């Protein structure tokens, strides 16, 4: 892919805390969600990636605190008892959860770019929980072009034994059945095209009337847009 132009906000586009954009990205393993998330972070530096907690072991290229907060099961269960998660679920035998403090942390970021939203990389169970408690959230499900291609991608990771690959593949069909929970469906048959569609979702959501209403009202009252 070509280098991505930044979509950092101009002064005119500054938003109030009420306009903080929450984006859920979900897909079966191997559909390309993680890659698309990283590309979004490059193009939209005012979006923060929500770092989830997990009990699974880190992969070779993963860093604690950047990719996940890696904890043991006992610590995770303690956080559940403390109501520390806005959502959590067990996936492939491991626990995953999104801490409430992640949203608070992101909203407090002012430099080098004020944070205007957060990306949640979660499964459909987590998506359902967040949608039940956070009304103004946008959700996107990433689809593979075919089940054969999904299996090929899972095997191409070369980081997991075949039995794990087969288990993930079996689970994938059940995950795809929950596509109806989501606002948008993006097919990742071509990475550039899928990324363009995903970027368009963010641009469109930011232009919704409910998010821009204050700008329009300020224009009517004062004759100029707020800076």
Higher-confidence residue: 1 or 38? 38
pLDDT at residue 14, rounded to an integer: 41
Sheet holding 52-54, edge to edge: 68-70, 52-54, 94-99, 85-91
Q: pLDDT category, 19, cuts 50, 70, 90?
A: confident
What pLDDT, in 10s, does the model give residues 92-129?
889 999 999 998 999 999 988 999 999 998 889 889 99
- Cβ atoms of 110 and 71 within 8 Å: the answer is no
Other CB atoms within 10 Å distance of the CB of residue 26: 24
**SS3 per-residue string spanning 46-84:** CEEECCEEECCCCCCCCCECCCEEECCHHHHHHHHHCCC
pLDDT at residue 10, rounded to an integer: 44
Distance (Å, rounded) from C-alpha 193 to C-alpha 52? Answer: 27
pLDDT at residue 122, rounded to an integer: 87
Asked if pLDDT for residue 159 goes beyond 90, the answer is: no
What pLDDT, in 10s, does the model give residues 43-65?
999 999 999 999 999 988 899 99
By three-state DSSP, how is residue 111 classified?
coil
What pLDDT, in 10s, does the model give residues 22-38?
999 999 988 989 899 99
Distance (Å, rounded) from C-alpha 122 to C-alpha 186? Answer: 16
Asked if pLDDT for residue 183 goes beyond 50, the answer is: yes
Q: What is the chain's mean pLDDT, rounded?
A: 88
Q: Mean pLDDT across the stretch 185-206?
A: 96
Higher-confidence residue: 78 or 67? 78
- Cβ atoms of 145 and 188 within 8 Å: the answer is yes
Asked if pLDDT for residue 2 goes beyond 60, the answer is: no
pLDDT at residue 7, rounded to an integer: 56
Domains present along the chain, CATH in parentheses: 11-49+117-222 (3.40.50.300)
pLDDT at residue 18, rounded to an integer: 54
What pLDDT, in 10s, does the model give residues 128-140?
999 988 878 999 9
pLDDT at residue 6, rounded to an integer: 55
By three-state DSSP, how is residue 28 classified?
coil
Q: pLDDT category, 16, cuts 50, 70, 90?
A: very low
Long-range contacts, stretch 195-203, CB < 8 angstroms, 24+ apart = 195/1, 195/36, 195/39, 195/40, 198/25, 198/36, 198/40, 198/140, 199/7, 199/40, 199/43, 199/44, 201/23, 201/138, 201/140, 202/21, 202/23, 202/40, 202/44, 202/47, 202/117, 203/7
Q: pLDDT category, 157, cuts 50, 70, 90?
A: confident
């Amino acid at each position: 892919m070509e280098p991505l132009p930044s979509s950092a906000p101009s002064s005119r586009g500054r938003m109030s805390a009420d306009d903080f954009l929450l984006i859920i990205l979900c897909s079966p393993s191997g559909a390309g969600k993680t890659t698309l998330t990283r590309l979004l972070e490059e193009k939209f530096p005012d979006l923060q990636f929500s770092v989830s907690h997990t009990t699974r072991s880190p992969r070779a290229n993963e860093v604690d605190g950047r990719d996940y907060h890696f904890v043991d099961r006992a610590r995770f269960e303690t956080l559940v008892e403390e109501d520390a998660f806005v959502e959590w679920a067990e996936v492939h035998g491991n626990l995953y959860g999104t801490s409430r403090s992640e949203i608070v942390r992101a909203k407090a970021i002012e430099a080098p770019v004020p944070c205007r939203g957060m990306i949640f990389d979660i499964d459909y169970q987590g998506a359902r929980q967040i949608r039940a408690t956070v009304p103004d959230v946008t959700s996107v499900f990433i689809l593979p072009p075919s089940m054969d291609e999904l299996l090929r991608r899972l095997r191409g990771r070369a980081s997991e034994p075949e039995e794990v690959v087969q288990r993930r593949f079996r689970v994938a069909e059940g995950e795809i059945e929950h596509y109806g929970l989501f606002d948008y469906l993006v097919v990742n048959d071509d990475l550039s095209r899928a990324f363009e569609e995903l970027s368009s979702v963010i641009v469109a959501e930011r232009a919704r009337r409910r998010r821009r209403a204050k700008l329009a009202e300020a224009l009517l009252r004062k004759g100029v847009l707020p800076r």
